Amino acid sequence: MRYASQSVWVDIVSDLGNELRAALTGGQLTVEYQPQFELEGATATPGRPVAVEALCRWHHPTRGLVMPDVFIPVAEREHIITALDAHVLLVAAQQVRQWQLDGYALGLSVNASPTHMSPEYADAVIDALDDLGLSHGSLAIEITESPAPQLAPEAIAILPRLRSEGIAVSLDDFGGGDTTIDMLDALPIDEIKIDRSITQRTDDDADHEVAAVVAHAERQGWRVVAEGIETEDDLERSRRRGCHRGQGFLWGPPVPAPRLEEMLAG
């Protein structure tokens, strides 16, 4: 029984894998943008975003909208994550370059799965930026720790090359996993994103934890971004804790490019 149900599961996953492969070439994968703001002086009716995070969406012909929490693990398992990440980077870098040409000084963050990071990946990122004329300093690459508290050694080896090219490396979802503050110094990073589970915690322990991360980050010259700011209270708390930037539903969810343009213009 157990074996049968497992094989059904494997079939479903590989079906999804094949569909995802088709989606990649068939235009079903789109990119949404969520704005980031400087927290100093930020309010719920803020000025201009300073950067956007690109987040992938799958418009499946029969299943409807599929979210990344479902398809990113499939893409990783099926070894198409690097192609997917590269697709998102190309689309988003082109879009942000256009916004810059339109007069909006915006940075771009993209997510990258460290599980299959290779030297070819780094080359592809740099080539893409150079082809599009997007400055290396405009880009941050967000990586999340692997299931174990350490990132894959292969991924860690790629990161210094990206940084030496002026591309920022950001550690996503910090505080949501097992990485501790002592482990950070071993990582070649420029930015830490505080997981929304910590951003939204109101207790003193969380206050101290984030303040300690910020103090450490400032000594290292890293930026700290608070994720998951949903309320004025979340904003006030993150500001009090010293976070430099924020992102969250208070300002808006990820949206397609035209909606983000309305925000830029408004």
Please report whether residue 55 would count as binding ligand C2E according to CB under 6 A: yes
Contacts of 6 (CB under 8 A, 6+ apart): none
Q: List Cβ neighbours of 67 (8 Å cut-off, separation of 6 or more).
A: 57, 58
Burial of 83 from C-beta contacts in 10 A (0-12 / 13-18 / 19+) = middle
Number of residues that bind ligand C2E (CB under 6 A): 26
Which entry of Mg ion, ligand C2E, none binds 230, CB below 5 to 8 A by partner kind? ligand C2E
Interacting residues with ligand C2E between 4 and 33 (CB under 6 A)? none
Element (H, E) at 258: helix 257-265
User: Residue 85, interface with ligand C2E (CB under 6 A)?
Assistant: yes
Nearer to ligand C2E, 27 or 103 (CB): 27
Q: Does residue 245 interact with ligand C2E by CB under 6 A?
A: no
Length of the chain: 266
Q: Which of 19, 85, 142, 234 touches Mg ion by CB under 5 A?
A: 142
- 36 binds ligand C2E, rule: CB under 6 A: no
The helix/strand/coil state of 224 is strand
Report how far residue 59's alpha carbon sits from residue 76's, in angstroms, rounded to the nearest whole number. Answer: 19
Give the footprint of ligand C2E on this chain (CB under 6 A).
34, 55-56, 67-69, 72, 81, 85, 88, 111-113, 142, 144, 172-173, 196, 228-230, 247-249, 253-254
Give the footprint of Mg ion on this chain (CB under 5 A).
111, 142, 172-173, 227
